């Protein structure tokens, strides 16, 4: 972002104007015709409006941001596109009216990638707001807004993070509120879709929306499920408003999958086919760079995004390379297998990459954007200890190596961002979780779900808080987490809605914490 900011009231008013204009454009876009030569490759015109899934941007660099869309006039039934390539034009402008176009180009939407588009305009200015759109067959997409990453010494950043958006469990009202925020980007930590058949995963009190079909296995299954989720107007609004940094967790493929091990004993060959289908569909529907295009069952998702010398974001993949969960998964008491140094959550290559990046970083804030609970979380209040085998507690040696490195190398201001568990938590990261008096190395903020689990409640788990003194806060409402950071302070606001089973919920900040640079540990804001 630019170092000099306009007043917050003016920025929010501009954001509301932009969202209103974008919504109006989306409603009218089916009839919008833009005169262009060579709009497609092939003789027939498209049948229906192609931009039903909206637009998105992601992976911002100082001179480039990925622009995404997918042509899908019949989004929920395979896409409805002809089996041929189609030219899609894109424009990046300094203004919403596209009177001052900064860059334009053409991408080919191909059938083998679901007619998705991943454009990578280059030569943009750092820390700058832009607007973008796509044009296919003479029809214009909704307008999106994005920012490039800053360089040098930016004064501040603001972002939100979210995860876990089970479509059947509730409405995405939190995303509508998020789209009204003044943010530089959004981080999504996984469970963007859920793989279950209709009503196989029920929220307390029942589901309010229905999945389209059975449990997803084939590439077309995954495409249709993504299309259903991405058809939601509140999710589209949040995508259109900011660039996103995305990573997956388990439900983008299969619950609690671990590398080549499925949840429920599916034959290996069948699971690997399913994994390849899921990986391709994920790439097709996310604003990822072309370099992330999967190769069968492999997709390089972990990566680093640097925002000047203010913050370095290490986006992790804790599914693709992990050892199978210890002691049969679930939660377990007395599981010694979880301590095995050979067990890994990140895989050896990603662990080396992470430590190298942390060791050479000169950023004020060093962030791990990842999926599962990082701090130790003992569920038992007696002398025994019960831990989740799917979280870092099930891979404690891998976590210990990271913590030892952070402490020995004096890595500046580590912050961990986490999803997965459908609750808000705030934790101090200790050098030795068994010793409350050990050194505090950093902090972890765990975000609740957007909708998974239904309405939720403002009811903390007092037993876990009592047993784990490094955990300072817990709340089970739905929403997202907003973070604002400068060179002195990191502020985290837990933004919650009272219900998701009907639309229109109001938003409030449940609580806030600050971390002071150079003085690790959570403090009430």
Task: Please check the confidence at residue 20 and state whether its pLDDT lies above 80.
Answer: no
Using the 3D structure, point to which of 149, 181, 208 is the last residue of a domain: 149
Whether 369 and 318 have beta carbons less than 8 Å apart is answered as: no
Whether 491 and 525 have beta carbons less than 8 Å apart is answered as: yes
The predicted model gives 204-219 an average pLDDT of 96
Q: Are residues 88 and 186 in the same domain?
A: no
Contacts of 75 (CB under 8 A, 6+ apart): 52, 53, 224, 227, 228, 230, 231
pLDDT at 70: 98
Q: Are residues 278 and 379 in the same domain?
A: yes
Q: Are residues 181 and 322 in the same domain?
A: yes
Q: Are residues 165 and 110 in the same domain?
A: no
Q: Are residues 143 and 154 in the same domain?
A: no
Using the 3D structure, point to which of 149, 169, 189 is the last residue of a domain: 149
Q: Are residues 13 and 82 in the same domain?
A: yes
pLDDT at 18: 52
* Closest CA relative to residue 119, chosen from 171, 67, 180: 67
pLDDT at 14: 54
* Closest CA relative to residue 434, chosen from 476, 472, 475, 385: 385
pLDDT at 264: 86
Which strand (E) or helix (H) includes residue 237? helix 233-241
pLDDT at 175: 98
pLDDT in tens, 126-173: 999 999 999 999 999 999 999 999 999 999 999 999 999 999 999 999
pLDDT in tens, 81-111: 999 999 999 999 999 999 999 999 999 999 9
pLDDT at 130: 98
pLDDT at 409: 98
pTM (predicted TM-score) = 0.93
CA angle 49–13–165, rounded 5-degree value: 55
Range(s) of the domain holding residue 120: 1-149
Q: Are residues 131 and 201 in the same domain?
A: no
- 3-state class (DSSP) for residue 47: coil
pLDDT in tens, 348-397: 999 999 999 999 999 999 999 999 999 999 999 999 999 999 999 999 99
pLDDT at 153: 98
Q: Are residues 33 and 181 in the same domain?
A: no
Cβ burial of 94 (10 Å; 0-12, 13-18, 19+) is middle
pLDDT band at 339 (very low <50, low <70, confident <90, very high): very high
Contacts of 418 (CB under 8 A, 6+ apart): 189, 370, 371, 372, 373, 374, 425, 444, 445, 446, 447
For the domain that residue 133 is a member of, what is the CATH number?
2.60.40.380
pLDDT in tens, 29-86: 443 444 443 444 554 478 999 999 999 999 999 999 999 999 999 999 999 999 999 9
pLDDT at 41: 53
Q: Are residues 81 and 63 in the same domain?
A: yes
The predicted model gives 248-274 an average pLDDT of 95
Whether 82 and 137 have beta carbons less than 8 Å apart is answered as: no
Q: 78's torsion region: left (phi>0), alpha (psi -120 to 50) or beta? A: left
The Cα 367–Cα 351 span in angstroms is 15
pLDDT at 11: 45
pLDDT in tens, 270-302: 999 999 999 999 999 999 999 999 999 999 999
Whether 94 and 56 have beta carbons less than 8 Å apart is answered as: no
Contacts of 348 (CB under 8 A, 6+ apart): none
195-229 residues labelled b (16+ CB within 10 A) or e (exposed): bbeeeebebeeebbbebbeeebbebbbbbbbbbbb
Q: Are residues 28 and 172 in the same domain?
A: no
Whether 65 and 91 have beta carbons less than 8 Å apart is answered as: no
User: Which residues in 334-420 belong to E strands, given as ranges?
Assistant: 365-369, 386-388, 414-418
Q: Are residues 141 and 282 in the same domain?
A: no
pLDDT at 5: 34
Q: Based on the structure, what is the number of domains in the chain?
A: 2
What does residue 440 show for φ and ψ, rounded to 5 degrees? -85, 125
pLDDT at 2: 33
Q: Are residues 64 and 157 in the same domain?
A: no
More confident residue, 25 or 231: 231
Using the 3D structure, point to which of 97, 124, 149 is the last residue of a domain: 149
For the domain that residue 351 is a member of, what is the CATH number?
3.60.21.70
């Amino acid at each position: 972002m630019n170092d000099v900011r306009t007043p917050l009231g003016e920025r929010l008013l501009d954001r509301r104007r932009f969202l209103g204009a974008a919504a109006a454009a989306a409603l009218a876009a089916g009839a919008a015709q833009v005169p262009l030569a060579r709009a497609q490759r092939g003789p027939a015109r498209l049948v229906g409006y192609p931009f039903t899934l909206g637009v998105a941007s992601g992976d911002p660099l100082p001179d480039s941001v990925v622009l995404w869309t997918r042509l899908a006039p019949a989004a929920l039934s395979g896409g409805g596109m002809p089996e041929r390539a189609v030219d899609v034009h894109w424009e990046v402008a300094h203004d919403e009216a596209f009177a001052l176009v900064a860059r334009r180009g053409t991408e080919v939407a191909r059938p083998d990638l679901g007619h998705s588009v991943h454009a990578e305009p280059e030569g943009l200015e750092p820390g700058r707001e832009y607007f973008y759109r796509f044009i296919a067959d003479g029809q214009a997409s909704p307008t999106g807004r994005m920012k490039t990453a800053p360089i040098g010494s930016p004064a501040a950043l603001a972002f939100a993070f979210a995860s876990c958006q089970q479509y059947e469990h509730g409405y995405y009202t939190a995303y509508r509120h998020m789209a009204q925020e003044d943010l530089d980007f959004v981080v999504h930590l996984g469970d963007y879709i859920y793989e279950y058949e209709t009503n196989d995963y029920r929220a307390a009190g029942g589901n309010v929306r229905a999945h389209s079909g059975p449990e997803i296995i084939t590439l077309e299954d995954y495409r249709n499920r993504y299309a259903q989720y991405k058809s939601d107007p509140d999710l589209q609004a949040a995508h259109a408003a900011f660039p996103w940094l995305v990573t997956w967790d388990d439900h983008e493929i299969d619950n609690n999958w671990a590398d080549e091990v499925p949840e429920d004993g599916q034959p290996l060959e069948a699971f690997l086919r399913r994994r390849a289908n899921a990986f391709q569909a994920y790439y097709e529907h996310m604003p990822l760079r072309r370099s992330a295009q999967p190769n069968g069952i492999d997709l390089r998702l972990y990566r680093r995004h640097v925002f000047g010398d203010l913050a370095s974001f290490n986006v992790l993949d804790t599914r693709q390379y992990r050892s199978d969960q210890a002691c049969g998964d679930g939660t377990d008491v007395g599981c010694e297998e979880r301590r095995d140094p050979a067990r890994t959550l990140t895989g050896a290559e990603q662990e080396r990459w992470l430590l190298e990046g942390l060791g050479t970083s000169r950023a004020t804030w060093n962030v791990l954007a990842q999926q599962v609970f990082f701090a130790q979380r003992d569920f038992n209040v007696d002398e025994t200890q019960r831990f989740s085998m799917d979280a870092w507690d099930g891979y404690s040696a891998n976590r210990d190596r990271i913590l030892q490195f952070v402490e020995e190398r004096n890595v500046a201001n580590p912050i961990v961002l986490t999803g997965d568990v459908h609750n808000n938590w705030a934790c101090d990261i200790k050098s030795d979780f068994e010793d409350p008096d050990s050194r505090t190395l950093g902090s972890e903020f765990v975000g609740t779900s957007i909708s998974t689990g239904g309405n939720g409640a403002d009811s903390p788990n007092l037993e876990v808080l009592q047993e784990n003194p490094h955990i300072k806060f817990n709340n089970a409402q739905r929403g997202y987490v907003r973070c604002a950071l400068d060179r002195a302070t990191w502020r985290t606001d837990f933004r919650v809605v009272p219900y998701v089973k009907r639309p229109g919920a109001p938003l409030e900040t449940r609580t806030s914490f600050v971390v002071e640079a150079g003085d690790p540990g959570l403090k009430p804001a």
